[in-house]
Chain A
Amino acid sequence: MENIGALAILLAFCLSLYAIVGSIAGKLKSRPFLVRSAERAVYAVWFLLTLASGILVNALLTSDFRFAYVASRSNRDMPGVYKFAAWWGGQEGSLLLWTWILSCYAAVVVWQNRKKFRDMMPYVTATLMVTQAFFLLLITFPLSPFQVLAIGKEVTAAPDGSGLNPLLQYWAMAIHPPTLYLGYVGFIVPFAFAMGSLITRQPGDAWIHTTRRWALVTWLFQSCGVLLGAGWAYAVLGWGGYWGWDPVENASILPWITGTAFLHSVMMQEKKGMMKVWNIVLISATFFLCIFGTMLTRSGIVSSVHAFAQSPIGKYFTIFLALHIAATIWLILDRLDYLKSESQLESVVSRESSFLFNNLLLLASCFAVLWGTLFPVISEAVTGEKISVDAPFFNRVNVPIGLFLLFLTGVGPLIAWRRSSLDSLKRAFLWPAAVGVVTVAALAALGVRHFYALMSFGLCAFVTSTIVAEFGKGAWTIRAKTRMNMARAMVELTHRNTRRYGGYIVHMAIVVMFIGFSGAAFNQDKTIEVKPGDRFRLGRYELRVKDLKQGETPNYRWGNVVLDIYTDNEFLGALQPEKRFYKVSRDQSSEVAIRRRLNEDLYVNFSGVAEDGRAVIQAYVFPLVSWIWVGFATLFFGTLICLVPSKVRLQFPKTKVVGVVTQDARVSR
């Protein structure tokens, strides 16, 4: 089996090379059958990689410990789900997953466009296959997932595997990597179309229209991947943090930032014919950051807690990235003439300008994160001393950027294209601004003194009122015309222009998340040594230690603390944080206990037993943290709405405002 698997990968590698050569040669020499055969090669690559993945997964599920990969990532007693998840639990397997996802995407793209874009499709195929070939190269030669254990020349099986790290045996962790990969890999599709469009010197923005859904779905996967990772860190790592600016976390947020910038700035191209070069640059940057992110995670060039140790693939990635970036830059510079802007910026106070600053800030944030992540590498190259920067650096730069972006979230959608008069500004923003100011004043009066938290809550109130006003105005007009009730009118409104109102829902999700982030300004914590019968206070809670227990399962030994939670002598429930000690791997793991509520989470970690036999407990109160996960759900929902086709196809000349509905609203006032 292992031979078939390895052979399938080798064959897929050859076929992907053939697809590159075949499609380009077929296009240049006008031989449609060559182009066709290249497309069939794409399907064949998909088939072969599916076969290879199937073999690996089968080996994992049946605990075939002849495979080195299986022996080091799995063991007999592990639940089936995690045996399957071990597919992406290690280096070779996760590269195989990456490659397989790419082959799926490529096959779908080729299939969807088998009758469309005959002109640029060969180049799209070739672009996709260049990356495909690169990843196949990695798993064919340096990092084959199909290595077997052997003594001398004889293949042997290990008696049992060493198991997946217990930290990774958690539901969100099982789906976090594939979700993130679906995002990472997906950005290649808009990139490939951008390249195809550049190479064939197409004017217009066909590549943007045809890949809008791809970009959105990919962005959604990326968002889910990042947030699942955050949720996992919160629930598993024991200190209640969800974001630590670790290099690998940064690697996942970088393409998300540029992807977000891209989703916004394409609107400028679609509506105004501006920022054409910029959009190509953005999608290319996003794609390269995806590859870069994979490289950071997989090569260990920057030390990280996610720590896949040093591996030889860093230099492969560096060469691939360097060549690819150089080629892309050359191509963009060569085709600049086809990317002329059709209109100009007119005023600082305009929709165009808000897009511009949105992009500027997102890019600044991306650059800062990249800079901070690579600081050890850069400083070593420049000064010879390896220096790293930590959370304070990232927070100082990104918190103000985040707040400014939040502000633009409220301003952007309402401000007029081209230029805004003072009068229209007043009409649109007087009330929302007032709501924001009142919120800040009220919170300040209640004793909130944290500057950024105050700003954040104020801006959240401001943005929320602009969004509510937009929905309200639109729905009111529909209600007046059709006599629907208000709720029905809201649905109708959203359905008429899903892209716009779905976008508002996503904006609302971001607001909700910001409320959650701001809660961190009021975290409380306490570390204490206790024995049964002790009680201690944290915030408004009283925690009474009821019992210390110990026990054993076949897999691990455990100890836990039973705590009863009271507020003002009212019993709220019990929490049982646990510590596990796995017998085979000798790993420890902490199972924290969390009482999740919308207003605040009570979070208790049992960090061990002190020498005198008392339990060391760490207890935290995290206000508003749940809002982040609520925001996550809202974001998911809003993005899905964006993907639903609009009921009314809005036809508008390029320089006109999108919202027919609000114009009606304005007339009706």
Chain B
Amino acid sequence: MKRYAKFGILIVVIIGTLVWLAVGGINESKTYYKTVAELEQMGNDAYEKRLRVAGDVEKGSIQRKGREVRFMLRQEKELLEVVYDNIEPLPDTFRDGAQAVCDGKLARSGVFNATKIQAKCASKYEAKPGQNPAVQKSGV
């Protein structure tokens, strides 16, 4: 059985290392999905965790200065000011009225510092089941 013990030890060591790395990776990058309304109820927690907030880009609110972009994110009635400043350019789909998903941290000032933004135009990729963008567009 000594032979198998050797295999066993090696496997345990490999898996153990990977699990250790994985746990580190999870802790470093875990991001909590929150709504804008929930942010306000989170208290101090809100400033420590990495958060993901989704909503619509408020029309006319996008301001660009160099690579820094500021805009208001609307989720139902709540508004959140978001600042984005990162090396990755914003996706082409990011524009007024687009649905945006922002990952980042909430600053004490109440401004959301996003490090990653994904966006999609609601009409473009796929309509929700039962509603067809072409139909809406042609006014039918």
Contact = CB atoms under 8 A, between A and B. Distances in A.
Interface of A: 65, 68, 71-72, 90-91, 149, 151, 156, 158-159, 161-162, 165-167, 237-239, 241, 303, 305, 307-312, 345-348, 353, 356-357, 360-361, 364, 368, 371, 375-376, 385-397, 400-401, 404, 525, 527, 529, 585-590, 605, 607-608, 610-611, 616, 618
Contacts, number: 168
B31 A345 contact: no
Contacts of B17: 400
Contacts of B120: 305, 307
Contacts of B133: 72, 162
A387 B89 contact: no
Contacts of B91: 237-238, 305
A561 B68 CA distance: 20
Contact of A587 (B11, B33, B93, B134): B93
Given A385-B32, A392-B28, A588-B95, A618 B66 contact: no
A152 to B, nearest CB: 10
Contacts of A158: 134-135, 137-138, 140
Nearest to A529: B66
Contacts of A309: 125-128
B111 interface: no
A616 B134 contact: no
B37 interface: no
Given A607-B89, A607-B90, 17 more contacts: A68-B134, A151-B140, A238-B91, A241-B88, A307-B120, A310-B128, A311-B129, A348-B7, A361-B14, A390-B31, A390-B116, A393-B22, A529-B66, A587-B92, A590-B92, A616-B64, A616-B67
Nearest to B115: A390
Contacts of B52: 388
Interface string B19-48: 001101110111111000000000000000
Contacts of A368: 18, 22
Nearest to A91: B126
A312 B7 contact: no
Interface in B82-105: 87-93, 95, 101, 103
Interface of B: 3-4, 6-7, 10-11, 14-15, 17-18, 21-22, 24-26, 28-33, 52, 63-67, 87-93, 95, 101, 103, 116, 118, 120-121, 123-129, 132-135, 137-138, 140
A251 B7 CA distance: 31
Contacts of A312: 129
A389 B25 contact: yes
Nearest to B9: A348
A611 B64 contact: yes
Contacts of A72: 127, 132-134
Nearest to B65: A610
A408 to B, nearest CB: 12
B64 A610 contact: yes
Given A307-B120, A587-B93, A162 B33 contact: no
Given A312-B129, A400-B17, A167 B92 contact: yes
B51 to A, nearest CB: 10
A607 B14 contact: no
A388 B7 contact: no
A475 B64 CA distance: 62
A238 B126 contact: no
A608 B66 CA distance: 9
A361 B10 CA distance: 12
Contacts of A589: 92
Nearest to A71: B134
Contacts of A303: 101
A29 to B, nearest CB: 43
B87 A527 contact: yes
A238 B3 CA distance: 53
A386 B11 contact: no
Contacts of B31: 387-390
27 contacts: A72-B132, A72-B133, A158-B134, A237-B91, A239-B87, A307-B120, A309-B126, A309-B127, A345-B4, A346-B3, A360-B11, A361-B14, A387-B31, A390-B29, A394-B25, A401-B18, A404-B14, A525-B87, A527-B67, A527-B87, A585-B124, A587-B92, A588-B95, A607-B90, A610-B65, A616-B64, A618-B67
B83 to A, nearest CB: 15
Contact of A618 (B18, B29, B87): B87
B135 A307 contact: no
Given A348-B10, A590-B92, A396 B33 contact: no
Nearest to B28: A392
